[in-house]
Amino acid sequence: MEYVNLGRTGLQVSRLCLGTMNFGPQTSEADSHAIMDKALELGINFFDTANVYGWKKGEGWTEQIIGRWLAQGGMRREKVVIATKVFGIMDDWPNHSRLSAYHIRRACDESLRRLQTDRIDLYQMHHVDRSTPWEEIWQAMEQLVTAGKVLYVGSSNFAAWHIASANEAASRRNFLGLVSEQSLYNLTERSIELEVLPACRKYGLGVIPWSPLGGGALGGALKAASQGRRAGENAQKLIQKHRGKLELYEALCREIGQEPAIVALAWLLAQDGVTGPIIGPRTAEQLVGAQKALELKLDEDVLHRLDEIWPGPGGPAPEAYAW
């Protein structure tokens, strides 16, 4: 396993991040525990979750599954960097969502209880809250850091100007601010290259791409269009939207003798500023397979051909659309 610093921090995390969104709804608790055990065996020390995962409002089902795994001991907690998120609706009562100081404090304590731990290593804002001032958000986060309940703060689904605003406000308070950004990023969706990636590089944020396989479209969708998640309505829409590009992409993957999913992950790993993509295996076998991406180093010719098939926005703004 390869490890890198998370953004400008001294925290070392694996270049593959274990996503846990399937734990509960798609993957049984026993299988989820087996996947986390296998992750440790492979050297993956970076686990991502959220208080809303499990999709049973207010229950934090996925966090509970992780908490019972951590409670088994065996140095599990000491070996992993736990990242969870705050923002989502936990019940229909006022102040039980978004990023008010009231909700941040309450949500943190509830996540700690479900995870059966005394700290959250990376506490991520799941979405920007345009109705709460940064002074309030940072005061709440500072209190959690001072109490030892949170070590680092990250963002998810932020625009570049949100990242700049957040970190400038944190700097005025002599606070570390955001150290990571979790964004939608894959070969089919490269819009963060315009401004989010440059902002992350400027402010020293590690980039953690979610949906690295484009909702399954980049995982060999044409070959297995009738199987599993690729048979779903959303997946079929993606396949139809990108069919021509997918045909070229899968042909290129066959030419270089690599699985499409591994090429998609390897491409992300080759992008400047990317800490590690979030992989969301439903089985331990899928987790083991994803590790092949760490061994695949795409040469300049293949990277150029991928750019031709899946052109990005043209680089950073404003050069991408002006001069």
Provide the residue-wise pLDDT of the chain in tens; the chain has 323 residues: 999 999 999 999 999 999 999 999 999 999 999 999 999 999 999 999 999 999 999 999 999 999 999 999 999 999 999 999 999 999 999 999 999 999 999 999 999 999 999 999 999 999 999 999 999 999 999 999 999 999 999 999 999 999 999 999 999 999 999 999 999 999 999 999 999 999 999 999 999 999 999 999 999 999 765 455 545 677 788 889 899 999 999 999 999 999 999 999 999 999 999 999 999 999 999 999 999 999 999 999 999 999 999 999 999 999 999 99
Which of 86, 81, 157 shows the shortest CA–CA distance to 117? 81
pLDDT reported for residue 105: 98
Q: What is the pLDDT of residue 232?
A: 62
CA distances for 77 relative to 57, 170, 251, angstroms:
26, 29, 43
DSSP state of 318: T
Q: Check residue 237 and give its pLDDT.
A: 85
Contact predicate 149/3, CB 8 Å = no
Q: Give the CATH superfamily of 3-216+260-297.
A: NADP-dependent oxidoreductase domain (3.20.20.100)
Residue 236 has what pLDDT? 82
pLDDT at position 125 is 98
Predicted pLDDT at 134: 98
The answer to whether 123 is a known catalytic residue is no
C-alpha angle 28/30/36, rounded to 5°?
A: 100
pLDDT of residue 233: 73
Q: What is the pLDDT of residue 223?
A: 77
Kindly name the residue from 3, 53, 102, 321 that is annotated as catalytic. Answer: 53
Distance from C-alpha of 159 to C-alpha of 191, rounded to nearest angstrom:
11
d(CA 126, CA 51): 10
